[in-house]
Each structure stands twice: as structure tokens, then as C-alpha cells.
């Protein structure tokens, strides 16, 4: 290889958490090797780094089987566009960040079309939920797997796939976070916090019930709502302002960049299932997890895809026990959410929850995951 030729890396991110992982990975790779050219499906954080965006990440960020089904034509167009771009440009490495629905099919198709470069999966698909077919797909089509959960490496021990446990990026992100000393919510010393998600459909399916449950608990405690996606702030405000509530109830809207500061003053939280739940656990915040699902998706998950897991949210999956109560699909009602929040506020339950949260730190191990990932990608 020409030593002056830049290392070409094609990155694929399909959701906000993947955008964060991708941006941090780009920084870590550049700290080890400066002559690198990035391109791919990129989110806003990744696009702020030197790169060429083939398709904006927002084009494939949808949730739910039904929404994916009705977006198939758009997905297929993007899929073909990305595949053709990779085949034509022949990058040295393709890094697929999470988003298994899209990435597993792309990797398989790239191999079928004779792409011979390295394909690396960053964040292991939930093979424990979806079954062994995903394991075979990974082994056949990928050169390497970067695992962020400690038990995942064992799943691939008897396969030929090179698997590297890098630790979870959140441990180093939170450990190194500089909390803003000036940040505060008026005179509020503690709040009930709502983290409704970063995608439109998540917010529509979760926020109203989350807010109604929080209102029943709040009494004199203010409610703070985290805005993970500023483009959806008006949607969040519309849902909140159209929900009947006491005039005396204080409601704050908090930008995503202050979510860790918000967690520090949170007495109890209610959050849509996702990466945010692990961030709450690593801050020791007693939390109720919700995940509103359309009836069609419930049917597909139960009877067609047969997804059956003892736990669905990261803190519980990592701990292999209930750290946070989960209200998934039909179990997510306002009454159930209210009762779960009340339970989290009970002193003994709250203390037990915090102790379990502390154990998660030791289970994940304190590693510089971004640097570990960068080194592994360059070495695979």
C-alpha cells in the first residue's frame, strides 16, 4: 500500500447513540493515525468532523417494525446507494455502528458483491434476543466485532470471528465529564425527570403517559423533561402543554447537553428504553423504564420474531437482575407507571436500586473504550 495514501474508513451510524459513538471513534482514530479519510452514513456530530457524508443518518433512523415496513422503499434506495458507493470507492475498512437491521444485511450484500475490505461491527447485535442466525451472519461476513458488554465475548468464543471487548464508552464519557457548576433549574434542588427519547415515534408513544404518571407523583416537586433532539422540542412541548395539569406544577425543558447535570438533581426518573437508561444507572438515579409499542409491533415481536428476554433494558441485562422496573408494550399504562415511580421513591427500594447501580460500574470495567475501539479497528 502507498504509505502516502490515506486510510479510508466508511462509517455507518443509524441513530443518535451511534452518532455519538462514531464521532468519538473518529477523534480516537485521528489521535493514533492522522492520515485518515472518513465517509459514510453520518449523524450531525460525525459530520462536524472532517468527513464526506454520503447519506445523512437521519434518513435511516426509524423505530418499530411497522415504520420500518412502510419505509422499505426508502431503505432500499439508501441501501443500494451506500452499497454502490462502497463497491466503487473500495474503502480499506467499513465500520458498522450498531443498527443491526440495516448493517447485517449490508455486510452480507457487500460480500456477495465481492467487497474484500475489512468489515467491523461496532456494538454487538442483541444475539441473545434474536437467536443464533445473527451469530452465523456475523461470523460469515465480518472481520471483527467490537463488544461493549462484558458477557458478549463469551458468545463468540467458539467461532472464528475476532471479538474484542472494549468496555462501554459511557464509563469513560461519564468519568471524564466536567459538570457545569453554574447550571441550575431556577430554585429546584430536586426534580422528577422525564427522558422521552430522541426519535419522533418514541416521543409520541411514551411522553404523554410518562408525563401523566409524573404529574400524579410530583406534588410540589418540579418536573424536568430532557430534550435529546432539539428538532423535536416543539413536539415535546405540544404534548406537555396539551396535557391537563395543575397550574402550580413547574415544568422545565432541559437541553441534551445538560442531561448529566439534570441527573444529579433527579430524585426519580421515568425514561424511554435506550442508552439513556445506562446513563441514569451510572448516575445512580432510581428510574422507571417504559417502551410504548404499537399493537402491530407487539404482535410481530411476540409471534413472528419470537423475541423473548428476561430483561430488555441495558442496566437489567448487564446486571442479570432487575435494577429498574420495566414497563414494555401493554404493561406500560399510566397507572402502572405511577405505581412504579412511587415504588422507586420508597427509601428501601431507592437504596437497593442505588447499590445495584454501583455494581454496574465494576461489571463494565473502567476502560477508555473509544481508544480501545480505535486501536482494535486499526489492528484487525
> How much is the pLDDT for 158?
87
> How much is the pLDDT for 303?
41
Non-local CB neighbours of 274 within 8 Å, separated by 6+ positions: 17, 197, 198, 202
> How much is the pLDDT for 305?
42
> How much is the pLDDT for 61?
61
Note whether 243 and 213 are within 8 A (CB).
Answer: no
Distances (CA, A) of 93 to 29, 80, 147, 165, 380: 12, 18, 18, 19, 10
The C-alpha cell of 24 is what? 468519538
> How much is the pLDDT for 265?
96
Non-local CB neighbours of 64 within 8 Å, separated by 6+ positions: 201, 293, 294, 297
Does residue 225 lie within any of the structural domains?
yes
Q: Are residues 222 and 255 in the same domain?
A: yes
Q: For residues 328 and 311, what is the distance between their CA atoms, to the nearest angstrom?
A: 10
Note whether 223 and 250 are within 8 A (CB).
Answer: yes
Q: Are residues 161 and 199 in the same domain?
A: no
> How much is the pLDDT for 366?
73
Q: For residues 323 and 257, what is the distance between their CA atoms, to the nearest angstrom?
A: 25
- DSSP-derived 3-state class of residue 63: coil
Does residue 152 lie within any of the structural domains?
yes
> How much is the pLDDT for 64?
45
Q: Are residues 135 and 206 in the same domain?
A: no
Domain count, the chain: 2
> How much is the pLDDT for 63?
46
Q: For residues 121 and 107, what is the distance between their CA atoms, to the nearest angstrom?
A: 9
Length of the chain: 380
| Per-residue confidence in pLDDT tens, the chain, 380 aa | 456 789 999 999 998 889 999 999 999 999 999 999 999 999 999 999 999 999 999 877 654 444 555 466 777 889 999 999 999 999 999 999 998 888 999 999 999 999 999 999 999 987 655 556 778 889 999 999 999 998 888 889 889 999 999 999 999 889 999 999 889 887 778 999 999 999 898 999 999 999 999 999 977 789 999 999 999 999 999 999 999 877 778 999 999 999 999 999 999 999 999 999 999 999 999 999 999 886 655 554 454 444 556 788 999 999 999 999 999 988 999 999 999 999 999 999 999 999 999 999 989 977 899 999 999 999 98
Q: Are residues 255 and 344 in the same domain?
A: yes
Q: For residues 175 and 153, what is the distance between their CA atoms, to the nearest angstrom?
A: 24
Distances (CA, A) of 158 to 105, 136, 141, 153: 23, 12, 16, 10
Q: Are residues 347 and 374 in the same domain?
A: no
Q: Are residues 150 and 292 in the same domain?
A: no
Does residue 181 lie within any of the structural domains?
no
Does residue 1 lie within any of the structural domains?
no
Does residue 175 lie within any of the structural domains?
no
Q: Are residues 195 and 113 in the same domain?
A: no
| CA contacts within 13 A on the Cβ side of 287 | 33
Note whether 207 and 239 are within 8 A (CB).
Answer: yes
Quick one: which of 25, 34, 27, 31 has its CA closest to 7? 34
pTM score, whole prediction: 0.85
| DSSP output for 138-155 | HHHH-SEEEE-STTHHHH
Q: Are residues 357 and 375 in the same domain?
A: no
Q: Are residues 303 and 348 in the same domain?
A: yes
Q: Are residues 373 and 331 in the same domain?
A: no
Note whether 323 and 281 are within 8 A (CB).
Answer: yes
Does residue 185 lie within any of the structural domains?
no
- Which residue range(s) make up the domain with 56? 7-167+366-379
Does residue 174 lie within any of the structural domains?
no
CATH, residue 52: 3.40.50.2000
Note whether 169 and 24 are within 8 A (CB).
Answer: yes
> How much is the pLDDT for 1?
47
Phi and psi dihedrals of 64, rounded to 5? 90, 140
Q: Are residues 298 and 317 in the same domain?
A: yes
- DSSP-derived 3-state class of residue 116: coil
164-168 contacts, C-beta under 8 A, 24 or more apart: 164/372, 164/376, 166/367, 166/369, 166/372, 166/373, 166/376, 167/364, 167/365, 167/366, 167/367, 167/368, 167/369, 167/372, 168/278, 168/364, 168/369
Does residue 184 lie within any of the structural domains?
no
Q: Are residues 105 and 141 in the same domain?
A: yes
> How much is the pLDDT for 60?
74
Phi and psi dihedrals of 65, rounded to 5? -60, -40
> How much is the pLDDT for 47?
98
For residue 208, the surrounding DSSP H or E stretch is: helix 200-218
Amino acid at each position: 500500500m502507498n504509505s502516502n495514501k490515506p486510510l479510508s474508513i466508511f462509517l455507518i451510524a443509524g441513530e443518535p447513540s451511534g452518532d455519538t459513538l462514531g464521532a468519538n471513534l473518529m477523534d480516537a482514530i485521528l489521535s493514533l493515525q492522522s492520515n485518515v479519510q472518513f465517509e459514510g452514513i453520518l449523524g450531525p456530530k460525525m459530520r462536524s468532523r472532517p468527513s464526506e457524508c454520503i447519506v445523512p443518518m437521519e434518513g435511516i433512523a426509524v423505530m418499530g417494525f411497522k415504520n420500518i415496513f412502510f419505509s422499505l422503499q426508502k431503505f432500499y434506495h439508501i441501501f443500494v446507494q451506500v452499497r454502490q458507493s462502497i463497491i466503487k470507492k473500495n474503502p480499506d475498512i467499513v465500520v458498522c455502528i450498531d443498527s443491526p437491521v440495516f448493517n447485517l444485511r449490508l455486510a452480507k450484500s457487500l460480500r456477495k458483491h465481492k467487497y474484500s475490505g475489512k468489515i467491523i461491527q461496532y456494538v454487538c447485535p442483541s444475539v441473545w434476543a434474536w437467536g443464533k442466525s445473527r451469530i452465523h451472519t456475523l461470523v460469515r461476513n465480518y472481520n471483527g466485532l467490537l463488544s461493549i458488554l462484558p458477557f458478549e465475548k463469551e458468545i463468540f468464543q467458539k467461532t472464528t470471528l475476532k471479538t474484542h471487548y472494549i468496555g462501554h464508552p459511557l464509563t469513560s464519557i461519564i468519568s471524564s465529564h466536567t459538570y457545569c457548576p453554574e447550571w441550575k433549574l431556577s430554585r429546584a434542588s430536586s426534580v422528577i425527570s422525564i427522558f422521552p427519547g430522541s426519535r419522533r415515534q418514541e416521543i409520541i408513544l411514551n411522553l404523554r403517559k410518562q408525563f401523566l404518571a409524573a404529574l400524579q407523583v410530583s406534588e410540589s416537586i418540579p418536573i424536568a423533561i430532557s430534550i435529546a433532539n432539539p428538532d423535536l422540542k416543539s413536539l415535546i412541548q405540544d404534548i406537555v402543554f396539551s396535557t391537563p395539569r395543575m397550574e402550580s406544577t413547574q415544568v422545565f425543558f432541559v437541553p441534551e447537553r445538560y442531561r448529566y447535570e439534570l441527573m444529579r438533581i433527579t430524585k426519580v426518573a421515568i425514561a424511554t428504553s435506550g442508552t439513556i437508561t445506562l446513563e441514569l444507572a451510572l448516575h445512580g438515579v432510581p428510574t422507571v423504564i417504559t417502551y410504548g409499542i404499537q399493537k402491530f409491533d407487539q404482535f410481530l415481536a411476540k409471534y413472528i420474531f419470537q423475541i423473548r428476554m428476561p430483561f430488555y433494558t441495558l442496566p437489567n441485562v448487564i446486571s442479570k437482575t432487575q435494577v429498574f422496573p420495566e414497563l414494555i408494550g401493554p404493561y406500560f399504562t399510566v397507572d402502572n407507571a405511577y405505581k412504579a415511580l412511587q415504588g422507586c421513591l420508597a427509601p428501601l427500594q431507592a437504596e437497593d436500586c442505588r447499590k445495584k447501580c454501583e455494581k454496574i460500574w465494576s461489571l463494565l470495567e473502567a476502560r477508555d473504550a473509544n481508544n480501545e475501539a480505535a486501536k482494535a479497528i486499526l489492528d484487525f
